Amino acid sequence: MTNLGYTAEEPVAAIATALSPAAIAIVRTSGTGCISLVSAVFSRPKALREAAGNSLVYGWIVEKDADGTILRRIDEVMLGVYRQPRSFTGEEMVEIYCHGGVAVVQAVLSLLLRSGFRQALRGEFTFRAYINGKADLTKAEAVREIIDSRTDVSRGKAAGRLAGNLHRSLEAVKQAVTALLASIEVAVEYPEDEETIADSFDLAALCRVRDELGCLIDGWKSERLYQEGAKIVLAGRTNAGKSSLFNALLREDRSIVSDREGTTRDYLENMISFDGIPCRIFDTAGLRQTDDPVEGAGLLRTRSLAEDADLLLYLVDSTVGLTAPDEAFLAGIAGGSGEAAGTGVTAVPAVLVWNKCDKEGSRPLPSGTGSESGTGATASRFKGVVRVSAKTGEGLGELIACVRTLLTGGTAAAGTPADKTGGAALGSERQKEAAAAAYERLTHAVRVARSGELGLDAVVQDLEDALDSLGEITGEVTSDDILESIFSSFCVGK
């Protein structure tokens, strides 16, 4: 890890909380001799040096002269004392809980850096936890995931990995592969006859462990959605109720609502949770013919946003119904599958939002939508159809459920990969690629064992390669480049 400049056991310090006014802030230290170093700037040095691990000590952070005389007081603090190896990093640690004023926190850190500490680098505390065996890479990456989580669901998934559910699932797979490997090697090393060697290999067990790993891989698409989120665009003709629905979903008056056509001339954007999925949702300019250059520019942005969406919510005023301009817009963007008609552009999944269903004169859904099985061109544009009233809130629950199902591909339902792995799931693209490599080797081992062409030596090689790939996920087999990529993305103080 020379590129990052990490030096194991060297005393380091960093601000672990946001540098902004707050009631409490934390300055974290770790490394050999850090308790003694902090005691040199503490008003009760003997109490700190003699403190038991996992205890708190009250006092002041102070600046002293060479004789130990206090020159000035910095702040009244509590110190959390952790003795090796019972700490987050596995080293001696002291956490300083001070008042959260920016000047106070900076003064405390500055004093520590002048007293023998080095400024910690990005992710250095978590890296030390990893190299000291306090966390494998799946747990280390989960720390970053929790920090970056944008919904309670994504936080909960990351917390599961931090608690070790992914590590335990991978360990079970590795133990099963190791057991298979051992049974083959023992039989090959001490054979009684050829039949004994053949019987030593449990092909059914290999298929089971491969399928278990496959369930973890299958869950990655859904897991990435909860981490990265999705882009959802509201589109439709003027006065279809897009801004009203935008406000209703956000539960605030974010967008101006008016009966006057062309009120929304540019898009508005906001973050929202669709049943735990973090999404960027866009309220766009209403579609209509216009000579206004400003409004025309807004319409061009509407089309551009819609073409780049993960999901299009196309609103229609149910008192008016679908019109030729609706069909013209959808033909270029949305579709049931494949490419949008005549554009060469991959079709965007779309939901027909039949709005204003509370109004007198609201029309029934067009033929071929809803529960009907029509095959009309309009019906085939949509992956789902929901009747709503943005004004009263009717149908919003069904709309949210429809969006969630379409975004996840139904992976939240019972019997999905997450159920089969006890809730464990891969948490990063790096983990997914390593798991896929292991799955490929196990699949090849099954094929070789069934054909009998290459012999059990080839199976042994496949199993060993699979173990190496699984070891990359947890960090048992990992290059410096991978470690640098992981820990350099952390914030300072973690």
Cα three-residue angle 394-395-397, rounded to 5 degrees: 115
Laid out side by side, the sheet with 118-119 consists of: 55-64, 70-82, 93-99, 24-30, 12-15, 118-119
Interval 182-211: pLDDT, tens:
888 766 655 555 554 455 668 899 999 999
Cα dihedral 384→370→329→296 (10° resolution): -80
Residues sharing a CB contact under 8 Å with residue 166, sequence separation 6 or more, in sequence order: 138, 142, 160, 216, 424, 425, 426, 427, 431
Cis link prior to 85 (omega < 30° from 0)? yes
CA pair distance 427, 423, nearest whole angstrom:
12
Predicted local distance difference test score (pLDDT) of residue 294 = 54
Q: What mean pLDDT do residues 262-271 have?
A: 68
Element (H, E) at 250: helix 242-250
> Residue 252: exposed, middle, or buried by beta-carbon count in 10 A (0-12, 13-18, 19+)?
exposed
DSSP state letters, 134-186: S--HHHHHHHHHHHH--SHHHHHHHHHHHTTHHHHHHHHHHHHHHHHHHHHHH
Rg of the chain over CA atoms, in angstroms? 30
Give the 3-state secondary structure of residue 63. strand
DSSP state letters, 82-107: E-TTSSSSSS-EEEEEEE--HHHHHH
Residue 106: pLDDT band (50, 70, 90) is very high
Residue 239: pLDDT band (50, 70, 90) is confident
DSSP state letters, 378-429: TGGG-SEEEE--TTT-TTHHHHHHHHHHHHHTTTTSTTSHHHHTTT----SH
CA pair distance 478, 468, nearest whole angstrom:
9
CA pair distance 482, 123, nearest whole angstrom:
13
* Length in residues, the chain: 494
Residue 6: pLDDT band (50, 70, 90) is confident
Interval 308-327: pLDDT, tens:
899 999 999 999 988 888 88
CA pair distance 435, 429, nearest whole angstrom:
10
Residue 348: pLDDT band (50, 70, 90) is confident
Of the listed ranges 120-124, 236-240, 300-304, 312-316, the least confidently predicted one is: 300-304
Higher pLDDT pick, 13 / 459: 13
First to last CA, the chain: 17
pLDDT > 80? residue 344 = no
Q: What mean pLDDT do residues 422-430 have?
A: 84
Residue carrying structure tokens 């089309």: 303
